[in-house]
Structure 1
Amino acid sequence: MDKFATLQTDIQNDAIPTCVCEKTMADKTEKFCLNCGVQLGGGVLQASGLLGGIGQLGLDAWKTAALVTAKKLAAEAGAAQGAIAGKARGMDIVIYHLKGLHIDKLVPDICKKVSSTGDYTRVINFAEIIIQKRGELCGVTNSTLGDATCNQINIGLGTRLRDGSAGLPDNLAVRTVLNGIVEGAKKTDKAVELAESAKVTAEITEQQTALIEAGFNSSITSINASIFAIVVIVLIMVIIYLILRYRRKKKMKKKLQYIKLLDE
C-alpha cells in the first residue's frame, strides 16, 4: 500500500505504452543527437584534425616559400640600392679631388659637366680640355691664374715637382692623375655599395618577414577557431543527448513501476 501511496491515481490508458520499446519523439531526438555527436566527434573532428594538419603543412610550405622569395627580392632591391649609393659616393669622390687639385679653376664648369654624365669614370674624357686650359692659363710663359694658384695646379697634376723642377709631360701627367682619381672612387664606390646593399637587404627582409609571420599566424588562428567551433557544437549535441537520455530513463522507470503495480 505504501507503494500505491507514492503513485499518481489519475492514470489514463493512453499514458501506458503498449510496448516499452516503442520509440517516442524524445527517443528519436536522443538518437539523432547521439548519432550526430558520434559522427561529429568520431568523423568530423578527425577530419578537422586531418585538415588542420594538412592546413598546417600547407601554411608551413607557403611560409617557407614566401620567406625564400622575400629574401631573394630583398637581396635584389638591396643590390640595386647599393649600386645607386655607391655610384653617388664615387661621384662625390671625383668632384672632391677635382676641387682639391684646383682643376675646377682651370675648367670652371668641369664639376657640373662630370656630374651631368651620371658616370664618374667619364672624367677621363675631360683630359684634353684640362691639358688645353693648363697650357693657356698656367703655361711656362704665362700664369693668368697667378703664380701661387698655378704652382698648386702644376704640382697637383704632376707637371712640376715641389722643388720646382719639371715633372711629367702634360698628356701623361693629367691622364695619370685622372686615372688615379677614378680608381680611388671605384674602391669607395664598391665599399659603399656592399654596405648599403647589406643594410637595405636586412631592413627589407625584416619588414617582409614580419608581414609573412603576421599572415601565417592569422591563418593558424582561423584554422584553430574553426576546429574550436566544431568542438563546441559536438559538446552541445552530447549535452542534449545526456539530458534527453536522463529524462527518458526517468520516465521509463516510472512507467515500469505503473505496469508492475497494475500487474500485481
Structure 2
Amino acid sequence: NKPYITPHTSTTTSRVLRECDLYMPKYDNDVDMKSVKENFDRQTSQRFEQYEERMMKNRKKYKEQRDKDIQQIILKDKVEKSLEEKVEKGCLICGCGLGGGVAPFFGLFGGLAVNELKKDAAVAASQKGIQAGIAKAIEELGKIVALSEFNLIKWNAMVTSTTYNQPMDLVRIVSKAYYACEESTVAEKTRFCLATNAWDQKSSTLALQTVTREAARIAGEADEIAKTTKATEIALANAESSYLYSAIGYSVLAILIMLLVMIIIYLILRYR
C-alpha cells in the first residue's frame, strides 16, 4: 500500500505584521482617500497662495514706507543745510522784534493786568467781608436768649448786606421778634418769649431794653468782622499781585537774555 498524503488548507488568516507590509500603500486604490488627498493638496496650495499674496502686500507697504522715510531724510538734510542762513536772518529779525516791541509790550500789559487783578481782588474781598459780617450778625443774634430757635422770622432775609452793621435795623428786627411774642400763640411757647415775659414781670421795659442793647452791640461786632475780613483778603490779594508782577518782571528779563543770546549767535554766524 502506498502512503497517501492528504493536503491540509489553513482556514485561519495570519495576523502577524510583516516588515514589508509597513511600506505597502494600502490606500492607493481607495477612492475616498484619493479625494481626501486631493482636497488636502488643494487647500494647502490655496493657503500658500494666500500667504504669498499677504507677503506681497506687506512688501509693498514696507517699500512705500521706506521710500517715504527716505524722502523725509532727504528733506531734513536740505533743511539742515540752510539752517545757518535761517538762524542768521531769524536771530536778527527776532532780536529787533523782541527788543523793540515785545519787552515793552509785556511790561505795559503786565502792569495793566496786575492793576485789573487788584481791582477784582478788592471787590471780592469786600464781598467776603460782607458775608462774614452777615454770618457774625446772625450768629450773635441767635445767642440772645435762644433767639435762634425763633422760627417766625427769616433771619437770612432780614439780615442782609445793608442791615447787618446797622444798629437801628438790627434793633428793629429784634423788636419785631419781641412784639411777636404777644401776637402769636406759637411764639409764646419759645424760650425767647418765656424769658422776655419773665423780664417784663420785673419791669415793663427791661426785656425790650435788653434785647435792643444787644442788637446794637452785635451790629458793631459784625461791622468790625467785615472790615477785618476785607483787610485780610486785600492783603492776600496784594501779596499775590506782587508775586505776579515779579513773575512778569522775570519773564521780561528772560526775554532780554534770549535777545542777547540771539544777537551773539548772529554775530558768530555772521563773522566766523
TM-score norm. by structure 1 comes to 0.46
Greater relative contact order: 1 or 2 (C-alpha under 8 angstroms, separation 6 or more)?
A: 1
Q: Highest Rg: 1 or 2? A: 2
TM-score norm. by structure 2 comes to 0.45
